[in-house]
Structure 1
Amino acid sequence: MKPFGFTLDEMRQLVDSRDILDTTRSDEVRPAAQAFFTECHAHAEESWRKLRQQVANTEELTGYS
């Protein structure tokens, strides 16, 4: 997660959110945990898209593929 720009606090919160979603049935905390998990997923997907583009650009520049 670090290469995608997540801070240690965000990684900790992500793990906590996953634990809440896996174990907690309380309607009070699940929505916030789900929202944060969804936000992190979108952030990771965007970072992955950018990384793939950087790799493609590097392959084009160097002739590797």
Structure 2
Amino acid sequence: MDDGLKIGEITEKTGLSIPTLRHYDSVGLVTPSGRSPGGFRLYNDEDIRRILLVRRMKPLGFTLEQMRDFLDAADALREGAADTDAAEARATLAQIRDEARARYEKLRKQVAYAEEFIDLVDGLEA
């Protein structure tokens, strides 16, 4: 990707809407790396990676602040943060990982209940 992808192309790749991507930009969650001469947002591969991470956190009910904390911590570790900052980043990632696991298990239980309910309904129609 030489110049970057425009927002419409990103919506096709990620399944997120244009207003959602603009909102993420306005709150500083995922800011596009560039702008075209006409002022269009241009996203590079790293921007897309960040958007996909956020998209994966969204159904688990993480807040924008938690998403930002996660991205900041991941960036700090990837960029080789100093020892104190790296320890804090690892702690943030561990906390979010534990919360994600707990939320995942809750969702699995809800899906199981939904499947049971559908089976019950199907049984009533037989």
Note whether the superposition's TM-score is higher than 0.5: yes
TM-score by length of 2: 0.48
Higher mean alpha-carbon deviation, 27-36 vs 55-64, is at 55-64
Query: Matches of residues 1-16 of structure 1 in structure 2 within 5 Å?
Result: 1-16=57-72
| TM norm structure 1 | 0.89
Deviation at 1:37, TM superposition (A): 0.4
Query: Which 4+ runs in 1 deviate beyond 4 A?
Result: none
State the Cα distance separating 1:2 from its structure 2 match: 2.0
Structure 2 gap ranges (5+): 1-56
Give the aligned partner of residue 50 of structure 1. 106
Number of corresponding residues: 64
**Superposition RMSD in Å:** 1.4
For 1:22, the equivalent position in structure 2 comes to 78
SS in 2 for 1:29: helix
| In structure 1, distance between residues paired with 2:105 and 2:114 | 14
Gaps of at least 5 residues in structure 1 are none
SS of equivalent to 1:24: coil
Match of 1:34 in 2: 90
Q: Distance in 2 between matches of 1:43 and 1:15?
A: 15
Rounded to whole Å, the distance in 2 between the matches of 1:18 and 1:36 is 9
The structure that has the greater radius of gyration is: 2
Please report how far the alpha carbon of residue 22 of structure 1 lies from its aligned counterpart in structure 2 after TM superposition.
1.2
CA distance in 1 between partners of 2:85 and 2:116 (Å): 47
Shift of 1:14: 0.3
Distance in 2, Cα, partners of 1:11 & 1:25: 19
Cα shift at 1:28: 1.9
Instruction: Return the structure number with greater helix share.
Output: 1
Name the CA distance, whole Å, in 1 between partners of 2:110 and 2:81.
41
